[in-house]
């Protein structure tokens, strides 16, 4: 009898599991569901946990020798149910060491020693970094603990380091004496409920994954340098002259751009305070942020305004740039417009931090996001500049507000940043060519169905630089837009906001996104998720036949490819008039062939399927011309 009950229970449990999701779920993710840290309705379980680190960092920049020296006191809090026997640090500067794995070619002359750990203490005990308990592999430093770090305990660490900036400006560096400083401190890796310690190497293409940490920061620089950083400046009166402080106060209240620091201010020595040491210490504080980046320059202009994102709270929206990059002069305006749009429209959640600051490295294009800071190129066109500023700032929400894993699921942030950018870019695009989203569709279709078009559910770190553009940006952008068309804008944003409200300051994975949307929509969307996110394939709709019987018209369509898309049919009549028929992708939920019926007393000349905004790898089967 007991055996029969056990068999019945197993059958019931298997049935329940299959009802939870028909999507493929990797074994390590299944364990998280079995442990109760994740739920099949996408809500945050009471058993969910996330670890956290407090950093107190002192760093000094020596521009003359291109050197950064730092020390930190770190408290790592273990909120997991596991006893941790190791601690893992990321040493991102080691990507520039000879022999490190890199996705980009870096000239040998640009390589160096990486980051040098000059001292290390754990719980007050000196650790020999050359001992067998300490191992360095590429960009990771792994330390075996003397005793386990038990649940709800913390680990106290003291560490000192230094490095010289590489001549290769890979998302950071010395730009002719102006510094964008990122990946600059030994950073404790993420330990989560799915993968344990994140020990993936940083090789350049796949980006980052961080906990939400607190930072107390002291940056020592020459007294004629200005520092901008993630977080809030605490000692403005110590470092800025009164005229600059007054303009900062003005910008924090103004909808219009204020020129806080100009070339004339530098020329007249009206920017920073000086003292006998020739150095200033800039004190910043940042709470619940996944990382810190900072800028040091002795000549960059600073433009800023502010925007109210919720009652009584304004966000400073700024751009910093050299006087020579004239096309960047509207970037503070673009930043302001970006924060307003994202706070009020899409995603429609108030921007969570006190400022956003867009730096330009003077390159022709490209950009990289950091919490509250962006390292941007300077495209020549207005739409290019506006789009780049918007795209990089939109990462404030994904990944930084949400805590997604860019290393394994870059599409969970780059795809959203691409989608959110559409309206702003088109607003400033005065060209007669294809619009922003049409270009995305075209770029996706060019690769769709080839072996370079990998399913997004595959880990992002597996993608080469050539494959990553489609996998991280184009295909997810198109998938999200098709999802928006499927659900309608109101329901789409309701589900998006619910997902973000549930999972912000945590570590959502793809299934939390899928299951939250399922729950909010009230439908299992696996028929959509599978082809778009899990399968090899391509979108291809076709007109099979058209039958006209008097005023009755029957249009037969088929889904040739496995990826479902919306339908747009344009009927062109002999008299020159036309009619457009739209259907959502839901018609393909359980069908590969459908028939659309219409009535008209006009004579049909031709019917066209699709548009430049709908992906289709074969346009030749999208036009049907009726015999005269």
CATH code: domain of residue 574: 2.60.40
- What whole-number distance in Å separates Cα of residue 391 and Cα of residue 384? 10
Last residue of a domain, one of 510, 534, 558: 534
Query: Per the domain annotation, does 285 fall within a domain?
Result: no
pLDDT of 465 above 70:
yes
If asked whether residues 468 and 609 sit together in one domain, one would say no
Percentage of the chain lying above the pLDDT 90 cut: 86
Q: What is the mean pLDDT of residues 160-167?
A: 94
If asked whether residues 529 and 556 sit together in one domain, one would say no
Query: Per the domain annotation, does 520 fall within a domain?
Result: yes
For 30, residues 6+ apart whose C-beta sits below 8 A from its C-beta are: none
pLDDT of 7 above 80:
no
If asked whether residues 521 and 570 sit together in one domain, one would say no
- What whole-number distance in Å separates Cα of residue 222 and Cα of residue 229? 16
Residue of 293 and 432 predicted with greater confidence: 293
Query: Per the domain annotation, does 409 fall within a domain?
Result: no
Predicted pLDDT at 424: 82
Predicted pLDDT at 101: 86
pLDDT of 422 above 60:
yes
- Say if residues 352 and 299 touch (Cβ distance below 8 Å): no
Q: Which domain CATH number covers 517?
A: 1.10.390.10
Query: Per the domain annotation, does 467 fall within a domain?
Result: yes
Q: Which domain holds residue 443?
A: 432-534
Query: Per the domain annotation, does 288 fall within a domain?
Result: no
As for how many domains the chain has, the answer is: 3
If asked whether residues 502 and 579 sit together in one domain, one would say no
Predicted pLDDT at 628: 56
pLDDT of 12 above 50:
no
At 517, the pLDDT band (50, 70, 90 cuts) reads very high
pLDDT tens, residue by residue, 75-93? 999 999 999 999 999 999 9
If asked whether residues 593 and 530 sit together in one domain, one would say no
- The closest alpha carbon to 208, from 53, 415, 369, 57, belongs to 369
The Cα angle at residue 369 between residues 367 and 373, in degrees rounded to 5: 110
- What whole-number distance in Å separates Cα of residue 98 and Cα of residue 76? 31
- Say if residues 456 and 475 touch (Cβ distance below 8 Å): yes
pLDDT of 505 above 90:
yes
Query: Per the domain annotation, does 220 fall within a domain?
Result: no
Percentage of the chain lying above the pLDDT 70 cut: 97
Q: What is the mean pLDDT of residues 311-325?
A: 97
Last residue of a domain, one of 181, 205, 229: 205
CA–CA distances in Å: residue 138 to residues 91, 100, 172, 555? 8, 6, 19, 59
Query: Per the domain annotation, does 352 fall within a domain?
Result: no
Query: Per the domain annotation, does 336 fall within a domain?
Result: no
Handedness of CA 36, 38, 43, 45 (dihedral sign): positive
**What average pLDDT does the structure give for the chain?**
94
| DSSP H/E element including 606 | strand 604-609
If asked whether residues 551 and 522 sit together in one domain, one would say no
Last residue of a domain, one of 518, 534, 550: 534
pLDDT tens, residue by residue, 551-587? 999 999 999 999 999 999 999 999 999 999 999 999 9
If asked whether residues 524 and 560 sit together in one domain, one would say no
If asked whether residues 88 and 173 sit together in one domain, one would say yes
Predicted pLDDT at 2: 39
pLDDT tens, residue by residue, 98-140? 888 888 888 888 888 999 999 999 999 999 999 999 999 999 9
If asked whether residues 508 and 552 sit together in one domain, one would say no
If asked whether residues 127 and 161 sit together in one domain, one would say yes
If asked whether residues 550 and 494 sit together in one domain, one would say no
Taking each helix axis from N to C end, the angle separating 382-394 and 331-344, rounded to the nearest 10 degrees, works out to 50
If asked whether residues 485 and 445 sit together in one domain, one would say yes
- The closest alpha carbon to 196, from 346, 309, 80, belongs to 80
């Amino acid at each position: 009898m007991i055996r029969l009950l056990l068999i019945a229970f197993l059958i019931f449990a298997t049935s329940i599991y299959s009802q939870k999701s028909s999507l493929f779920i990797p074994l390590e993710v299944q364990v998280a569901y079995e442990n109760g840290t994740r739920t099949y309705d996408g809500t945050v379980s009471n058993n969910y946990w996330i670890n956290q680190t407090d950093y107190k960092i002192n760093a000094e920049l020596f521009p003359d020798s291109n050197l950064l020296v730092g020390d930190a006191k770190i408290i790592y809090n273990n909120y997991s149910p596991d006893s941790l026997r190791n601690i893992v640090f990321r040493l991102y500067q080691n990507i520039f060491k000879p022999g490190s794995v890199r996705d980009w070619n870096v000239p040998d002359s640009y390589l160096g020693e990486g980051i040098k750990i000059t001292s290390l203490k754990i719980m007050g005990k000196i650790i020999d970094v050359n001992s067998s308990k300490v191992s360095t592999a590429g960009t990771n430093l792994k330390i075996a603990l003397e005793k386990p770090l038990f649940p709800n305990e913390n680990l106290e660490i003291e560490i000192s380091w230094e490095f010289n900036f590489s001549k290769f400006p890979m998302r950071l560096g010395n730009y002719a004496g102006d510094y964008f400083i990122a990946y600059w401190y030994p950073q404790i890796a993420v330990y989560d409920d799915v993968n344990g310690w994140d020990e993936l190497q940083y090789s350049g293409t796949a980006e980052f994954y961080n906990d939400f940490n607190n930072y107390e920061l002291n940056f020592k620089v020459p007294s004629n340098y200005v520092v901008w950083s993630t977080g809030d400046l605490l000692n403005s009166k110590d470092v800025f002259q009164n005229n600059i402080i007054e303009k900062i106060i003005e910008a924090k209240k103004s909808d219009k751009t204020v020129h806080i620091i100009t070339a004339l201010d530098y020329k007249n020595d009206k920017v920073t305070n000086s003292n006998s040491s020739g150095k200033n210490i800039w004190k910043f504080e940042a709470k619940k942020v996944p990382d810190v980046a900072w800028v040091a320059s002795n000549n960059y202009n600073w433009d800023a305004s502010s925007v109210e994102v919720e009652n009584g709270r304004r966000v400073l929206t700024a751009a910093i740039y050299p006087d020579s990059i004239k096309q960047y002069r509207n970037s503070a305006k673009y930043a302001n417009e970006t924060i307003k749009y994202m706070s009020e429209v899409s995603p429609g959640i108030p921007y969570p931090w006190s400022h956003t600051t867009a730096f330009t490295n003077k390159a022709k294009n490209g950009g990289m996001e950091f919490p509250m800071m962006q390292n941007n190129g300077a495209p020549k066109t207005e739409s290019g500049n506006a789009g780049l500023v918007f795209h990089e700032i939109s990462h404030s929400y994904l990944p930084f507000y949400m805590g997604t894993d860019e290393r394994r699921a870059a599409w969970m942030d780059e795809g959203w940043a691409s989608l959110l950018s559409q309206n702003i870019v088109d607003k400033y695009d005065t060209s007669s060519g294809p619009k922003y989203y049409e270009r995305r569709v075209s770029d996706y279709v060019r690769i769709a169905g080839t072996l370079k078009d990998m399913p997004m559910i595959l880990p992002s770190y597996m993608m080469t630089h050539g494959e990553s553009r489609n996998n991280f940006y184009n295909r997810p952008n198109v998938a999200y837009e098709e999802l928006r068309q499927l659900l309608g804008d109101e329901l789409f944003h309701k589900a998006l906001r619910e997902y973000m409200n549930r999972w912000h300051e945590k570590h959502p994975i793809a299934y939390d996104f899928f299951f939250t949307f399922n729950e909010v929509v009230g439908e299992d969307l696996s028929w959509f998720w599978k082809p778009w996110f899990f399968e090899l394939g391509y979108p291809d709709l076709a007109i099979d036949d058209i039958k006209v019987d008097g005023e009755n018209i029957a249009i037969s369509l088929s889904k040739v490819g496995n990826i479902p898309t919306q339908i747009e049919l344009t009927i062109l009549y002999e008299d020159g008039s036309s009619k457009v028929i739209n259907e959502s992708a839901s018609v393909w939920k359980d069908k590969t062939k459908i028939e659309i019926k219409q009535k008209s007393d006009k004579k049909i000349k031709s019917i066209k399927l699709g548009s430049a905004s709908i992906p289709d790898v074969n346009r030749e089967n999208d036009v049907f011309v009726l015999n005269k």
